Chain A
Amino acid sequence: MLRYNIVLGGQAGQGINTVESVLVKAFKASGYHIYATKEYMSRVRGGINTITLSVGSHPIRSYSERIDILLPFTAGVVDWVGDRLHSNSIVLGDAEVLPPQISTEHVFPLLWQSEQEKKSYIKQINTLCAGLVAALFNLEYDLLELLVRDEFSDKTESVVTANLDALKHGSLQGEKLKQQQKWQFPLTADTTVRDHHLLNGSEAVALGALSAGCNALSFYPMSPSTGVATFLIQHAETFSLAVEQYEDEIAAVAASVGCWYAGGRSLVTTSGGGFALMEEIVSLAGMSETPLVIHLAQRPGPATGLPTRSAQGDLNLVLYAGHGDFPRIIFAPSSIEEGIALSARAFTLAERFQTPAFILTDQYFVDTYYCSANVSLPQAVEPTIIKTPAEYRRYALSPSGVSPRGIPNYGNGIVLANGNEHDEYGDTTEAIDLSKLMPEKRMAKYEKMIEEALEPELVGADDYTILVIGWGSTFANIKQAVEELNDPRLALLHFSQLYPLPQSVIASLDQAQTLITIEQNFSGQFADLLQRDYCCRIEHRILKYDGRIFSTELIVQRLTEILEGVSL
């Protein structure tokens, strides 16, 4: 599949996002499919951040590490991404930021007629480079001009003019280079792309929550989870949301539980370290049978770890969070579109089963976006709240384990919730029968939860003998790799619900002679879960734990090594 990977690299605060913003809009308006992801350092100024922007004639969903065009805006970028360059990579940048040794011959320093000219453009080098790239891809100059005006619409006229000059200069250089080097980037425009939605993972989680009737948000800021909060707060007035940044994660999740208890639909967003503080309240939600929805955007731990990078290392944390036994649901969306659907589903199921539900994403997921024709908003499910009768018992025993949920001041009853073991009314008890019946009631919910668990997605041969297993945000990258390998023995089974798992997993695992798991953590946490619950042995674990995401290329390479060792 034809795609071009353009990488922008610069210091934090240097404004590479401006180039990204202008180019993304320009490509989309021109009918090209786009995909973008970023990796960045945990600092406000300096360092090196990069954005990978892929353009193509067809939908792009996976991360490819190969760089076709690199635009370094600061010294060090070329070396930082050095292993992603190949002999045909094109590097375009000011001579001062280019190192002497580069693993490609196609290095083109920006041309300046004079020091004076360089000085006059260097402040607008972002816009200049946008013009340059746009010219290489034959994007309409008028369109670019419009987008640049729009980008700087809140700035003074002199800033706009300076940027338009830079755009022109970049465009002319691009035209010249293209002709000199006889470069061609043939892409077929697809006019429907203009109507596609462009959402990142944070926005998907937030939109899913809103469509499920989320009306409150409580959080404490923590990368990479804060994007969800920022988005909801931007739209808090429109949707009348009760949003609050609390003093710590404990208060944030506690307020969320209080909100659900009284009939709100609250979202908590956090990352691993913040979630570690929330555990006792998760346990309280489990015991008091209060719905709770937590979005956890993973980053590498332990402790502060790599604050701005990606990982799938908090599955165990979420799986085992909270003391004692209580049911829980864990989703890990595998695409932006599914991010919306599963965020909404987390609300629906948390409310129906009156128990915690998790949306497990990661930095890669929240910071990645692409244009999609398949974005839709799920319908809100009506709340399951009942009007309480005078003799209402919050924890009435029932075979399904689910008691009708009342809320304060709706009906004649009173609603008594409790974190201590309790009787049917909610009063604390140590009675021997209730001490046994109540845990059984809570855990009985699993039966229905398993029945309704999402089936994993199978990609590849139905009659596979080698099964690759993945979960969450790595889906498109693994799928692309499995498709490229085109091995008839091979299939991918990808999970978007991690707990509880559907019954079908038993047969899926049994069919395979070889199991290979792919995870972004050190130990293989999902593999361990499968081994724990399904008596299988997973020897082949492709693991990555450096905070950088699995590229399709890397997965192909690692799978190839394993496949070579598996006898036909």
Chain B
Amino acid sequence: MKISPFDSSRPGSQEISWCPGCGDFAILDAIKETLTALQRTPQQTAVISGIGQAGKLPHYIHSNGFHTLHGRAIPIATGVKTANPQLTVLAVGGDGDMYAEGGNHFLHALRRNPNITVIIHNNQIYGLTKGQGSPTSLPGMKTTTQPRGVTAEPLNAMAIAIAQNASFVARSFIGDKELTCDVLRQAVEHNGLAIVEIFQPCVSFNKLNTYKWYAEHCQRIENHDCSDQAAALALALAVDPYPIGVLYRSGKKKTFEEQLPSYRNDDTPLWQRRVDRDALQQLLASKK
């Protein structure tokens, strides 16, 4: 096995609590491969997660990390980037984490455009809480808490992101590791918010959306101009098969942090800065 600088030797990393066969393993590998390929160091990287099976990811990687609360990975990752724009910041979570509990943050991150990569492990079910319907569960799917079948429309995060002119929008299926790594590499390299949704089968609770099902229902995007918003939206609205790959790149947009007063002149992290005492005294003097 290849040795990655992102392999963790911490005692807590040795036993991974995902179910055997879970798509999260391959996502973890893809993230490590991508960061290694891009020559990022564990010190420069921060992986911010929410809650759920995907939220456990920071424990299995040698990198800065913050395992936070359900739904809050995006604003916390935005805060991390705010404090230090030199960091490579990933926000990871599942479909429940990012689209249900964190739905409002997802929407506003699209507007705000921080230069972070948001990775949504979409298995169309709640795993850690054992099999309830999620915002992306397909209608009719029977679950422990929707025994008569899910009735709500699945959330189409790709279409929402494109409609909102998000700066980078992609979807992949973890069964296509090559594509996933390629998409992740483009996402991390992208200067601005990158949304990457990865279909990832839950082998324990989702008996509908299996590896086989995804393999049959996903198709790589070909001959698509990803700068064409209308074409991208049409792709995002397609469900059978689901187009996978980079759906959309907006034109050049300023990132959130480069527009903050703190970074107009340079990107020195906040911790290296000291208050300008003279300016402070002047401000106080203006209050006479």
> A interface vs B, CB < 8 Å?
194-199, 203, 207, 210-211, 213-216, 218, 235-244, 246-248, 250-252, 254-266, 280-281, 284, 288, 375, 377, 380, 383, 385, 407-420, 422-423, 425-429
Contact = CB atoms under 8 A, between A and B. Distances in A.
Contact of B82 (A199, A216, A412): A216
A375 B284 contact: yes
Nearest to B10: A425
Residue from A254, A408, A420 with most neighbouring chain B CB atoms (10 Å)? A408
B105 interface: yes
B67 A242 contact: no
Interface in B248-282: 256-257, 260-265, 269-271, 273-277, 279-281
B165 interface: no
A256 B59 contact: no
Given A242-B261, A419-B67, 11 more contacts: A198-B287, A213-B275, A216-B270, A236-B261, A239-B275, A244-B256, A255-B76, A284-B72, A420-B67, A426-B65, A428-B59
Contact of B69 (A266, A377, A385, A419): A419
B53 to A, nearest CB: 12
A408 B276 contact: no
A256 B275 CA distance: 18
Nearest to A212: B275
B229 interface: no
Given A195-B288, A247-B105, A259-B79, A415 B84 contact: no
Contact of B279 (A238, A375, A409, A428): A238
B11 interface: yes
Contacts of A250: 72, 75, 104-105
Contact of A428 (B67, B104, B264, B265): B67
Contacts of A412: 43
B171 interface: no
Given A237-B261, A255-B75, A261-B80, A248 B104 contact: yes
Contacts of B86: 409
A385 B108 CA distance: 31
A247 B62 CA distance: 32
Interface in B26-85: 42-46, 48, 51, 56, 58-59, 62-69, 72, 74-84
A427 B87 CA distance: 21
A418 B66 contact: yes
Contact of B261 (A243, A256, A258, A422): A243
A435 to B, nearest CB: 14
A414 B76 contact: no
A207 B283 contact: yes
Given A194-B288, A199-B287, A238-B279, A410 B79 contact: no
A235 to B, nearest CB: 6
Residue from B45, B58, B82, B262 with most neighbouring chain A CB atoms (10 Å)? B82
Contacts of A215: 262, 270, 273, 275
Interface in B179-199: none
A256 B107 CA distance: 19
B273 A240 contact: yes
| 8 closest Cβ pairs, A-B complex | A427-B12, A258-B79, A263-B271, A264-B83, A255-B79, A262-B83, A258-B76, A254-B75
24 contacts: A197-B287, A207-B280, A207-B284, A211-B275, A213-B274, A216-B270, A239-B280, A240-B262, A247-B107, A250-B105, A255-B75, A258-B48, A258-B75, A260-B79, A262-B80, A262-B87, A263-B270, A264-B83, A284-B72, A288-B68, A408-B84, A409-B64, A414-B63, A427-B11
Contacts of A235: 283
Contact of B64 (A218, A259, A415): A415
Nearest to B47: A416
A258 B284 contact: no
B148 to A, nearest CB: 32
A241 B276 CA distance: 11
B13 interface: yes
B68 A284 contact: yes
A415 B65 CA distance: 6
Given A416-B65, A429-B12, A259 B262 contact: no
A383 B273 CA distance: 10
A412 B43 CA distance: 7
Contacts of A284: 68-69, 72
Contact of B10 (A214, A408, A427): A427
Contact of A211 (B11, B46, B69, B280): B280
Contact of A263 (B72, B108, B260, B269): B269
Contact of A407 (B69, B79, B112, B271): B271
Query: What interface size band does chain B fall in?
Result: 35 or more
A425 B84 contact: no
B83 A263 contact: yes
Nearest to A251: B75
Given A409-B43, A410-B271, A240 B261 contact: yes
A416 B218 CA distance: 36
Contacts of B271: 262-264, 383, 385, 407, 410
Contacts of B108: 246-247, 251
B76 A216 contact: no
A216 B63 CA distance: 25
A244 B109 CA distance: 12
B117 to A, nearest CB: 15
Contacts of B256: 244
B261 A265 contact: no
B11 A417 contact: no
Given A210-B275, A417-B67, A419-B69, A427 B269 contact: no
A242 B83 contact: yes
Given A263-B269, A408-B84, A409-B86, A414 B62 contact: yes
Given A215-B270, A247-B105, A210 B280 contact: yes
B58 to A, nearest CB: 6
A203 B288 CA distance: 13
Contacts of A410: 271
A261 B257 CA distance: 17
Contact of B78 (A195, A258, A288): A258
A41 B261 CA distance: 34
Contacts of A383: 271
Contact of B270 (A196, A203, A264, A419): A264
A248 B72 CA distance: 12
Contact of A255 (B13, B78, B262, B270): B78
A76 B256 CA distance: 48
B252 to A, nearest CB: 22
B31 to A, nearest CB: 15
A267 B20 CA distance: 44
Residue from A259, A262, A265, A415 with most neighbouring chain B CB atoms (10 Å)? A262
Residue from B44, B59, B64, B276 with most neighbouring chain A CB atoms (10 Å)? B64
A244 B284 contact: no
Residue from B51, B56, B79 with most neighbouring chain A CB atoms (10 Å)? B79
A262 B269 contact: yes
Contacts of A214: 275
Nearest to A280: B69
A116 B79 CA distance: 61
A414 B275 contact: no
Contacts of B257: 242
A470 to B, nearest CB: 27
B284 A197 contact: yes
